[in-house]
Amino acid sequence: MRRALGITYGIGIVGGGWLVSRFAARSPRAYGAMPALATAVLVPSLIAALLVDSWQLSLALMLVPMVACTVYIAPALALVQNLTQPRSRATSVALLMLMFNIVGLGGGPLFAGAVSDALKPLHGDDSLRWALMALVPVAVAAGLAQFAMTRHLENDFAGQAGE
């Protein structure tokens, strides 16, 4: 499983960076559009992986959301680098990484664990399945925010070029 995590997360991060580099040359909207598109793939594939009965099929289906859930990382870091003054870049990236870790790596597992514990009396071993499903609205909100951000990026990049 660890190899699958490392490989899929690596594919998502490197692939997200590559895609944004390729499409941002045409439009800076790619910085938000690629992560939003990845989230649009992540949501149904995660739901499918959580709803199948076979753990083998679930694991195979989980490969898609495992790639998609990290596509935003490289574009987010690049966006901060591109839109921040050189003297503030290190601090800006450090704050972004802190938020990634506090919210994503701290809050996500804590939330899923608390929901799973709360659902355990009703759903038994399936409580974790439904706790992970409870994260889907968070992913949808993130995808919508990423998509909404795209309409501002051209002006943000134009303003940065004028400085």
Predicted confidence at residue 1, as pLDDT, reads: 64
Contacts of 143 (CB under 8 A, 6+ apart): 35, 36, 39, 40, 42, 43
Q: What confidence tens digit (pLDDT) does each residue in 80-123 have? A: 999 999 999 999 999 999 999 998 889 999 999 999 999 999 99
As a whole number, the mean pLDDT across the chain is: 92
Instruction: Give tens-digit pLDDT for 140-159.
Output: 999 999 999 999 998 888 87
Handedness of CA 69, 73, 75, 80 (dihedral sign): positive
